[in-house]
Amino acid sequence: MYMESQTTHLRELLQEIAHLNAAIALLNWDQEVFMSPGSAQARANTLASLSARHHELVIATVLQNEVTRLEGLPDGALDARETALVREIAHDLRLAVKLPTEFVARITEATSRGQMVWQAARAANDFNQFAPVLEEIIALNREKAEYLGFTNSPYDALLDTFETGLTSSEVTKVFTPLKERLIPLLKQIAARTTAKRSDLEGNFSKESQLQLSRDVATAMGYSFDHGRLDLSTHPFSTSFHPTDARITTRVDEQDFWVCLGASMHETGHALYEQGLPAADFGSPLGEAASTGIHESQSRSWENIIGRSKPFWEHWYPELQRRYPEPFAHINLDQFLPALNEVRPSFIRVEADEVSYNLHIILRAELERDLIEGTLNVADLPKAWNAKFKEFFGLDVPSDALGVLQDVHWSCGYFGYFPTYALGNLYSAQLWAAVRRDIPTIDTSIAKADYAPFLGWMREHIHRYGRQYRPAELLTRATGESLNPEYFTAYLQERYGMSASTE
């Protein structure tokens, strides 16, 4: 694929690391999909050992020297892609060398164990079971922030690992006005909502739902020759190579959208992975731009397309054919508002798209306070419930429906939640650009022809890998830097609150 060039040796070194990374990712996938609970400690130890080995390869002198040599080349010696490759790998290495190998092993072991403890605690609805390991994981994340370094807040150092350049103050700057718009907008829309998701309940077998997910994913452009769909507690996608990008989903036998919505979401992620340049496997040019850009892809498919009228013009007759009960008695104009019922509810992953970002802002505020040390783990459930009342007007009935619902903190992912809201904001801005560039996009979607949409994403997002930082990639794709107005305008248009987008 690549001619012998200045970066050939660097690419070879990075591929070795990428193969080990793929093996680690596969073990993580197995842990979520197949592994028995009794194997948890052994798997935690295996992952800790392999992660330490991975870290040693990343910080090895040979790699450092090669990057230093490339950074020292005269201007013009590298083309634009190679220049970006060296810039990104130098950035990664500068962070990686700050983390001691024994620390990487410690945090990997604690978070692998943490996930199993969280699963048991959630099932038992018992926060106290989870609290000690959560305290340990928070302490490890604060230690990590100290190693990585920061100017204002330790949370900055953690945010930067998911969205390069993102800071706590920028998160606040975007989220605070968004929260102030969304709290009243949610109340307003919910008050007018009469249709109910529960009107769409029925008896939908697990196998038939998985088949529907496979059919929709295939229509979206996902290749089952280069991935697979399985079940897990918490749906996710993972990728070992652009030719092996996997997804998981979950099934509720009464509510078909739990499975299909999750499947479309994870397929959106996997389409990004399958669309990355395979020739750049192992290098930053073959990796997604950021966690937030990744989420923009999943949310575009799940919400902007998957909850839209054009999408269902094709798929609703198909749904009626597969499930005459109850859909034979419900027409499309009744179905859509029921699918898109807007109502404050407890579980983030089941939230409507008006509520969703408020769930994220709640978590972002709490995790910032946990990392900055202004909130203790012992006080976390109370703080969660108080904010929930403030944002949604609801009393949280149990920790399983509250603070214990998400896997992220048990995995040590502090700084990850804000990227979910960014993904929503990016997706609305990208959608405005798609509609501008492809005026016939709704007609294509109504025919289940997603090639124009996927093609636009391939051209403007996927093929670049990490050639551009997230903010620049968004600007190049849409002609504008991040503008949250696109998201609120999109909500107002979809939920008929005003004609502000006309």
Question: Which residues form the interface with Mg ion (CB under 5 A)?
Answer: 295, 298
- Measured CA to CA in angstroms, residue 224 lies from 55, 213, 220, 262, 274 at distances of 32, 12, 11, 17, 11
Distance CA 104, CA 257 (A): 38
Cβ-count burial 156-189 (b if 16+ within 10 Å, e if not): bbbbbbbbbebbbeebbebbeebbebbbebbeeb
Please report how close the Cβ of residue 269 comes to Mg ion at its closest, in angstroms. 6
- What's the first-to-final CA gap in the chain, in angstroms? 47
Quote the least distance from Cβ 291 to Mg ion, whole Å.
9
Closer residue to Mg ion, CB minimum distance, 168 or 298: 298
Task: Specify the residue, 17 or 264, whose C-beta has the smaller distance to Mg ion.
Answer: 264
Q: Hey, what are 370's tokens?
A: 């946990």
> Closest separation between CB of residue 302 and Mg ion, Å?
9
Per DSSP, helices labelled H in 125-167 are: 127-148, 154-162
Q: Catalytic residue among 136, 266, 353, 367, which?
A: 266
Nearest to Mg ion of 55, 269 (CB atom)? 269
Residue 428 tokens read as 């609305």
> Please, what is the angle between helix 80-96 and helix 8-33, to 10°?
60
Non-local (6+) Cβ contacts of 39 within 8 A are none
For residue 265, the minimal CB distance to Mg ion (Å) is 6
Which residues are 237's β-sheet partners? 247
For residues 55 and 265, which CB has a smaller minimum distance to Mg ion in the complex? Answer: 265
Residue 53 beta carbon to Mg ion: minimum distance, rounded to whole angstroms: 28
Residue closer to Mg ion (CB basis): 335 or 356: 356
The tokens describing 365, both together, are: 């505020």
Q: Please give the residue whose beta carbon sits closest to Mg ion in the complex.
A: 298
In which order are the strands placed within the sheet that holds 229-231? 229-231, 244-249, 237-241
Active site residue 266: yes
Give min distance, CB of 268 to Mg ion, in A.
8
Residue 344 CB, nearest distance to Mg ion (Å)? 22
Complete DSSP assignment for 207-268: HHHHHHHHHHHHHHT--GGG--EEE-SS--EEEEETTEEEEEE---SS-HHHHHHHHHHHHH
C-beta closer to Mg ion: residue 295 or 406: 295
Q: What is the DSSP string of 75-110?
A: TTSS-HHHHHHHHHHHHHHHHHTTS-HHHHHHHHHH
**Alpha-carbon span 276 to 269, nearest angstrom:** 11
Give 141 or 298: the residue with its C-beta nearer to Mg ion. Answer: 298
Task: List the catalytic residues.
Answer: 266
